[in-house]
Structure 1
């Protein structure tokens, strides 16, 4: 099971967090500070697995972001690396060569994509095409809702004149 997902920049800024196990806010802050200190100081030639507090943290660096997932001690690290890569590939397809700024300004989309891939810390959808189709449907719904809200506000403005 995945306990949490962290996306951390090289400067130690948290760009995305998703918690699948209960942690208090104080614990979350401590976890982020502790793990970012451990992961950011590791050499690039070291393996991408860290034993931490009876769990394993699997991470992978893509450009300026570290994608980290905390898993149980007996879970398969290579499977988690594949899940991380799967998430990055879908982000890449959606944003067209995803970068840190895409995640900063469109964090809600990144969360939505992550929620389509993982549910309750387990892999939900492994098909990139299915996830892309679901995201496109969500975007379509959002656009329709925006158009309806805009036309409704225009009608109200016109009626009140």
Structure 2
């Protein structure tokens, strides 16, 4: 199960977060956890594995330009499928925004949520087909 999805910039600032667990973590605890995760990801070198343990979670991350895409998940998920989920998400964002950047995320946060909700529902990965997700999003844009 996917527990959370974070987008963090190179300065360690959270630009997007989505939590899927019913864990009653207070906002202050989430902020502190996100900051600690950001520090851990930022200090890892390119030679280190992009999947590692953090408290009760496994973390998988990928860096694209100035953004870190981080997923917290449990042991039951396939590690490589999580990395593929990140890749698919980035490809969808790149296609939708024509080379996504940090500003696209900040100014279109609702679209980021919608795209991610097409891919992950209640912590379960339901769709990774780029064309299918994009067609749904484009259809929604055409109706508004």
TM-score tier, shorter chain, comes to over 0.9
User: Is the contact made by 1:55 and 1:72 (CA closer than 8 Å) also made in structure 2?
Assistant: yes
**Runs of at least 5 residues in structure 2 that lack an aligned partner in the other structure:** none
Deviation above 3 Å: which 4+ runs of structure 1?
none
Q: SS of the residue aligned with 1:7?
A: strand
**Runs of at least 5 residues in structure 1 that lack an aligned partner in the other structure:** 143-161
TM-score normalized by the length of structure 2: 0.93
Mark the structure with the bigger radius of gyration. Answer: 1
Aligned mate of 1:119, from 103, 118, 121? 121
1:15-47 C-alpha deviation (Å, 9 max, x unpaired): 110000122212211211110111111112111
TM-score normalized by the length of structure 1: 0.84
Partner of 2:16: 16
Alignment size in residue pairs:
142
User: Is the contact made by 2:88 and 2:129 (CA closer than 8 Å) also made in structure 1?
Assistant: no
User: Is the contact made by 1:54 and 1:73 (CA closer than 8 Å) also made in structure 2?
Assistant: no
Higher relative contact order (CA 8 A, sep 6+): 2
> Pairwise mapping of residues 69-108 of structure 1 onto structure 2 (< 5 A)?
69-108=71-110
Partner of 1:151: none
- 1: CA distance, partners of 2:100 / 2:114: 15
Aligned-residue RMSD, C-alpha: 1.1
- 1: CA distance, partners of 2:128 / 2:55: 29
- 1: CA distance, partners of 2:105 / 2:98: 12
- Decide which structure has greater helix share: 1
Partner of 1:59: 61
Partner of 2:4: 4
